[in-house]
Structure 1
Amino acid sequence: EVEEEYPRLLAAYAGALDVHSRLYPGARAAVERLVADGYATAVCTNKPEAMAEALLDSLGVRSLFGALIGADTLPVRKPDPAPLVAAVERAGGALARAMLVGDTETDRETARAAGVPCLLVTFGPDGRGVEALAPEATLDHFDALGRTVAALIG
């Protein structure tokens, strides 16, 4: 029954994808600074790729990311490390100098599986609860993203 309803759920989700979606304060400027500083940036999400692409386009930030890997881009999805590895490679980065910025336990598990540092935001769905996942760093506001990235991966 779930498989029968899933296409309807995706269609409804796609129709309202950006109705309530907003960038967190400081997010655009923080990513722009990373790009200006020479970091390769990518999106690795468990949203279907076309939906993630549409959402990033509607928010006006797709051009800030050198790659996008969605739930259906590869045969596996997070927390398998393959999507993150592919995102890093497609963006022109190197796994040895990569990290994952996220907000969930799945993100933490993905980073751990890929062997890269994880920075979890404290303003996502789990709030400060992400601290219990023992990420290498947490982030309270995007204003601190650049210096946190530099501290973690140079």
Structure 2
Amino acid sequence: MSSLKAIIFDLDGTLVDSACDLRDAVNVLLAEEGLRQLDLDEVKSMIGDGAAKLVERAVSATGGDQSRLSALVARFLQIYEADATRHTQAYPGVPETLAGLRRLGLPLAVVTNKPYGATIDILEALGLRAYFDAIVGGDTLPERKPHPAPILAALGRLGIAPEAALMVGDNYHDVQAAQAAGVRAVAVTYGYSHKPHAELGAERLIDTMPELLPIVADAAS
């Protein structure tokens, strides 16, 4: 097995807990449409495949007009991106883990299905932007996870081969994208997984982000 030379992270549900801000933006949109409000658990079950999918699921769950989805997605992004960082926080141990990985000399990337602009806003608001050498958002390329293209694009920017990289995520699309790109995968057991973590197909599961450090240190040596 190649030694590890780079780490790629998902954002929502992996590095940051953004569910409350996503819920609030979804509920503003639904209120404008005269639809019922969603609770936090409902919204968490809809997160992970990009803004369009989140809006589609929310509108479907509340009996809204599916024929207007493109307009509703645009309005959702307007609402969300105006205040994407009010409640969003890094998960426990994330800043310390990122700092530890940088001390190991490893380049880091974020590959997320969240729009690039909101991703940058969140990373900057939480003081995490400086840790990352490459950031690929859900609107950076035509493809999103589980397609491997965003991961391969990040690796291209880092100058790292897939077999020397590790993807860390919380959901099936993270693991599928990693495997399709030829990248190893670790899944966190918190976040917004749509299926049991043991069924995601990751090589390792971790309960907290700091557990990643010894795994990476062993594989990077």
Structure 2 residue aligned with 1:36: 103
Give the partner amino acid of 2:158: A
Structure 2 residue aligned with 1:147: 214
Match of 2:113 among 30, 46, 54: 46
Matched residue pairs, number?
Answer: 154
Counting only pairs closer than 5 Å after superposition, residues 131-142 of structure 1 correspond to structure 2 as: 131-142=198-209
Cα distance, 1:137 vs. partner? 0.5
Determine helix, strand or coil for the equivalent of 2:88: coil
Structure 1 residue aligned with 2:146: 79
Q: Contact (CA 8 Å) 1:104, 1:126: kept in 2 or not?
A: yes
Give the distance between the partners of 1:134 and 1:88, measured in 2 at CA. 21
Given the alignment of the two structures, is residue 97 of structure 1 paired with residue 164 of structure 2, yes or no? yes
Give the partner amino acid of 2:118: M
Greater relative contact order, per chain length (Cα 8 Å cut-off, separation 6+) = 2
Deviation per CA, 1:70-99: give whole Å up to 9, x if none. 011112111111110111221343322101
Cα distance, 1:66 vs. partner? 0.3
Q: Contact (CA 8 Å) 1:98, 1:153: kept in 2 or not?
A: no
Structure 2 residue aligned with 1:19: 86
TM-score normalised by the chain length of structure 1: 0.92
Runs of 5+ consecutive residues of structure 2 not aligned to the other structure: 1-67
- Taking only the aligned residue pairs, the percentage that are identical comes to 36
Structure 2 residue aligned with 1:57: 124
Cα distance, 1:12 vs. partner? 1.1
Give the distance between the partners of 2:99 and 2:209, measured in 1 at CA. 11
Match of 1:108 among 175, 180, 184: 175
- The structure with more radius of gyration: 2
Runs of 5+ consecutive residues of structure 1 not aligned to the other structure: none
Determine helix, strand or coil for the equivalent of 1:99: strand
Determine helix, strand or coil for the equivalent of 1:5: helix
RMSD: 1.7
Give the distance between the partners of 1:79 and 1:128, measured in 2 at CA. 15
Give the partner amino acid of 2:95: R
Determine helix, strand or coil for the equivalent of 2:89: coil
Determine helix, strand or coil for the equivalent of 1:107: helix
Structure 2 residue aligned with 1:70: 137
Bigger drift between 42-51 and 16-25 goes to 16-25
Quick one: structure 1 residues 128 and 83, their matched pair in 2 at CA, closer, same or farther if it must change by over 3 Å?
closer
Bigger drift between 72-81 and 121-130 goes to 121-130
